[in-house]
Structure 1
Amino acid sequence: MVLSSLLQSRIGSSSSHRPPGPKGLPFLGNLVAFGRDELGFITETARRYGDLVWLNLAGWPALLVSDVEAIETILVKDHDNYIKHRLALRHVKALFGNGLLTNEGESWRRQRRLAAPAFAGQQLLAYDTAIVSLTHQMLDRWTNDQVLNIHPEMMELTLRIAAKTLFDSEAEWDIADIDHAANDLVTEMESRFKRPILIPDGVPLPGHLRYRRAIRTLERVVSSIIAERRASGLEGRYDVLSRLMEARDEMGKPMSDALLRDEAITLLLAGHDTTALALSWTWLLLGQRPEIQARMAAEIADVLGDRLATTHDIPRLKYTESVALESMRIYPPAWIIGRESIGTFKLGGYAFPAGVTIFISPWILHRDPRYFAEPETFRPERWMGNLAHELPRFAYMPFGGGPRICIGQRFAMMEAVLILTTMAQRFSAEWQSGHKMTPFPSINLRPMGGVWLKVKDRQTRH
């Protein structure tokens, strides 16, 4: 009764004061239904109740927003009134510190200005050789007619690319330590985001112990690389960490080592995981549609022949880029975005209090027939015309939106297209339907059960 009374006091006693939504259970509200099947629940509630859906998560008020104009208000026009969800961030504060993912306000804006040059303009051109070379190293291990789970292959590859482009590191011990730590961190974060309450890191649960040990591992790797850079100098270095170490704010001050640590860990974990997922989903779809895969391979052969891909080829690889865009439409790795109101606000004629949790779901938006014809169908050619310019601003948002849009989106698209191109030059892939796969909405959208493919050699070697 206490939770129910608190909820009523926050939103008003009449149901007319709030948008429609599912009734839910006593005390728990919609929490059980949401936790049982997140994708199914948000899809069904949006379809049934509309673009603004009121939810009760165990007494805590929440709003599922699918109206593109309301989303623009939240993420752009009034973005200062909405922050990342505080409970969710407290779960991972020890890991990400004050990095770009978790920081807020003027401090975040200062960091964003310092970090932006590392992901812009000519700086991106320095990364293509590493991306293509490391992809070939992965492919050298594959054999004709081999059946493999592509997801761990993509995770390892993008981790190696992140280590090289972020840190200029190819040391096997660093890669192995980072990989082990990252797996432990993702497992624990998935568990934490399912909890309705915060359990302090100091409580000696097995997952907490692994979590803290993994953080120490990443801190050790990052600190040793920073120390090495300080000792050897930054001249001739083009990796992201070196660019961050060189950056100066308006007062001429560099980032502190503590902030460098936070940004390095944030970029490493947030960068490699989402790109690996995007590529895994892409190959699932390509493996199911051999005619699309063949068209992509034909474009690549026409543009490149037998030579290696570079950043300069990407503008001519229109269909290959469209394959990546369409994959992220159907299976957006960042399937849901959370905000919390810090002040009162109005949307759709309703008034809301501070402290409302807001959910924005690319999974819903990307499958909305108002914006995409045959939304469940994998059709890369839909991106070959003017669709990207004709869509409402937030109908397609695989990298988020507004001032907090993913800082590495250009790098991620470049990386995805170069990896797809390099892989398709050497192998085709057939989906192995005997392996069950289910989209699993954790921190990001994961292929539970794996993406199993049979790869066939195209007889192209470099």
Structure 2
Amino acid sequence: MTTQAGPSAVVTTTADGRKTVRGPRGVPVLGNLPEFGKDPLAFFERLRERGDFVRWRFGRTPALFIAHPETIGELLTEVERTFDQPDLGIAFRTLLGNGVVVAKGPDWRRKRSLVQPSVRPRQVKSYAATMAECAVDLAERWADGQRVDIRREMAALTQLIAVRTIFGVDTAADAASIGRAMDVAQREIGAEFSGIGAILPDWVPTPGRARVRRATAVIDAEVSRVVARHRDGDGERPDLLSRLLAAQDETGAHLSDREIRDETVTLYIGGHETTSSTLVWAWYLLSRNPRVQEALGAELDRVLGDREPGFDDYARLTYTQAVVKETLRLYPTVWLITGLAKEGATLGGTPVPPGTRVWSSQWATHRDGRWYRDPLEFRPERWTGADDGEDGQAEEIPEYAWFPFGGGPRVCLGTRFAMVEAVLVLAVLARRYRLDVDSEEIRPVPSLTLQPDRDVLATVRAR
């Protein structure tokens, strides 16, 4: 390791030759939190422009931002060994409890082994018909020339898919009550995570924390009611909740009621919030790229003709998949990943002091011109065999230059579910319609997931 003094910073060269530079100067106690909280996405882009290893401070906690795919891969694959899951705050824990996303060590391994079977490809295949049926119901309510709020339409659709596939219920009231509470909770979690609440002790009362508690109470009541209904029912049911209730670990023990609650909420967020946001951004991008919209329609006509898509069509809809992947590149629903260095942690061959909070951002890395030609352009062809008549970029893109679902041992368990849902819903609706989104620019707001900053209004046009 070598060190070089500069007029305003110290540049350290890591064992693999990359430079670690000092980030923007922070303020006492808060460090760089005010700048981070003002616009987290722009903040991470500015750090990326400084280098692949940038030191900063999250309040009093020393932090390290990493931007290179190789190093991001190290962080993601070393979680549970030399990096730990950091505490993401009381608001986050209030909603997710100690589910598989939050749990650590042996507890995490046990929960992952119990949850994973319910979202394996064979199980996702059994949910595909529900995904398509819900989308068809929505398509039949739309009409040429109708004005819609895409954000509300996609949220209602994915909420309904979630309550049917996860909870096995089929009423609008169930979807609406859980959905409203989840919207409040995720908004407040985002506000706390990027604001002063991020460094306040858990015992400090704030209006945002109170709103999260009230929203979580609604969610808990709904989950408890549905769990009780399942326990009283007869026979095997095909939904995720029933599979969780039946799951046993190696000792024969089942998940407790509290664990069932935590895992169903986690699966709901993965199955609803992320897919809803992805679909909104996909319609927004398609509306601004007629060429892509035409190519998508051509594939749907060729593969599906006059029929609805099923699970087996997922593999055939390669361009539709590319549209979803490119949407997740430009507007990743999960926009950051963070880990806490433990004893023995290294990145790029250089030790990372224990207690350092390491950050990576899908938003910043996905838009890095080193990995993507014309990184701000919406080009699904970069994921297929041809890109404007040239070979596609898919083979050139480094591993972990695209990581919307994380990676390593803690990769999102619902990845397959989310991808299949987004592709099938898009196929059902785009086969019939295009959506002309109003011309106003929509900006992303980083909360629990990456959300539009306003209603996304559009006119439905029959194809």
> Partners of 1:67 and 1:202 in 2: how far apart?
37
| 1:349 Cα deviation after fit | 5.4
Question: 2:135 touches 2:425 (CA, 8 Å); kept in 1?
Answer: yes
Counterpart position of 2:452? 447
Structure 2: 5+ residue stretches without partners: 1-8, 14-19, 386-391
Decide whether the 8 Å contact of 1:73 with 1:79 is kept in 2: no
Asked whether the 8 Å contact 2:80–2:104 carries over to 1, the reply is no
- State the Cα deviation string for residues 369-404 of structure 1 (Å, max 9, x = none): 222111111111111127445432211101001111
Match of residue 415 from structure 1: 421
User: Which residue does the alignment assign to 2:243?
Assistant: 243
Deviation at 1:22, TM superposition (A): 2.6
* SS at structure 1 position matched to 2:99: coil
Relative to the length of structure 2, the TM-score reads 0.90
In the alignment, which residue of structure 2 is the partner of 1:457? 462
Query: C-alpha separation between the residues in 2 aligned to 1:302 and 1:23?
Result: 52
Distance in 2, Cα, partners of 1:139 & 1:275: 17
**Residue 212 (structure 1) aligns with:** 213
Question: Are the structure 2 counterparts of residues 390 and 182 from structure 1 closer, same or farther at C-alpha, using a change threshold of 3 Å?
Answer: same
Q: CA deviation at 1:260?
A: 0.6
Alpha-carbon distance between aligned partners in 2 of 1:59 and 1:226, rounded to the nearest angstrom: 42
Assess, with a 3 A threshold, how the Cα gap between structure 1 residues 146 and 354 changes in structure 2: closer, same or farther.
same
Aligned in 2, Cα 1:17/1:318: closer, same or farther, shift over 3 Å? closer
Separation in 2 of the partners of 1:446 and 1:190? Answer: 10
Provide closer, same or farther for how the CA distance between residues 380 and 215 of structure 1 changes in structure 2, counting only shifts above 3 A. Answer: same
RMSD between aligned residues: 2.0
Match of 1:392 among 373, 395, 398: 398
Name the amino acid aligned to 2:227: I
- Which residue of 2 is the match for residue 296 of structure 1? 296
State the partner residue of 1:60: 61
Tell me, in whole angstroms, the C-alpha distance in 2 between the residues paired with 1:113 and 1:243. Answer: 13
**Structure 2 residue matching 1:61: 3-state secondary structure:** strand
Identify if the C-alpha distance between structure 1 residues 351 and 17 changes in structure 2 by more than 3 Å, giving closer, same or farther.
farther
Q: Which moved more, 1:393-402 or 1:142-151?
A: 142-151
CA change 1:253–1:151 in 2 (3 A) is same
- How many aligned positions are there? 440
Aligned partner of residue 55 in structure 2, secondary structure: strand
Aligned to 1:231: 232
8 Å Cα contact 1:17-1:351 kept in structure 2? no
C-alpha contact (below 8 Å) 2:186/2:447 kept by paired residues: no
Counterpart among 31, 34, 40 of residue 32 in structure 1: 34
Q: What residue in structure 2 maps to residue 424 of structure 1?
A: 430
Identify if the C-alpha distance between structure 1 residues 57 and 125 changes in structure 2 by more than 3 Å, giving closer, same or farther: closer
One-letter identity of the residue aligned with 1:339: G
* Match among 26, 44, 54 for residue 42 of structure 1: 44
Distance (whole Å) between structure 1 residues aligned to residue 202 and residue 24 of structure 2 = 32
Supply the distance in 1 between the matched residues of 2:150 and 2:353 (Cα, whole angstroms). Answer: 45
2:80–2:105 Cα contact (<8 Å) kept: no
Structure 1: gaps (5+ residues):
1-13
What code does the residue aligned with 1:417 have? Answer: V
CA distance in 1 between partners of 2:105 and 2:234 (Å): 32
One-letter amino acid of the structure 1 residue matched with residue 302 of structure 2: D
Structure with more helix by fraction: 1
CA distance in 1 between counterparts of 2:215 and 2:24 reads: 41
TM-score under structure 1 normalisation? 0.90
Query: Which shifted more, 323-332 or 222-231?
Result: 222-231
Which residue number in structure 2 is paired with residue 276 of structure 1? Answer: 276
Comparing 263-272 with 347-356, greater Cα deviation is found at: 347-356
1:114 Cα deviation from its structure 2 partner = 1.0
Evaluate the alpha carbon distance shift between residue 376 and residue 436 of structure 1 in structure 2; reply closer, same or farther with a 3 A threshold: closer
**Partner Cα separation in structure 2 for residue 77 and residue 53 of structure 1:** 20
Question: What is the identity percentage for the equivalent residue pairs of Structure 1 and Structure 2?
Answer: 37
Change (3 A) 1:99 1:25: closer
- Superposition pairs of residues 13-32 of structure 1, within 5 angstroms: 15=10, 19-27=20-28, 28-32=30-34
Q: Counterparts in 2 of 1:256-271, with a 5 A limit?
A: 256-271=256-271
Shift of the alpha carbon at 1:253?
1.6
SS in 2 for 1:354: coil
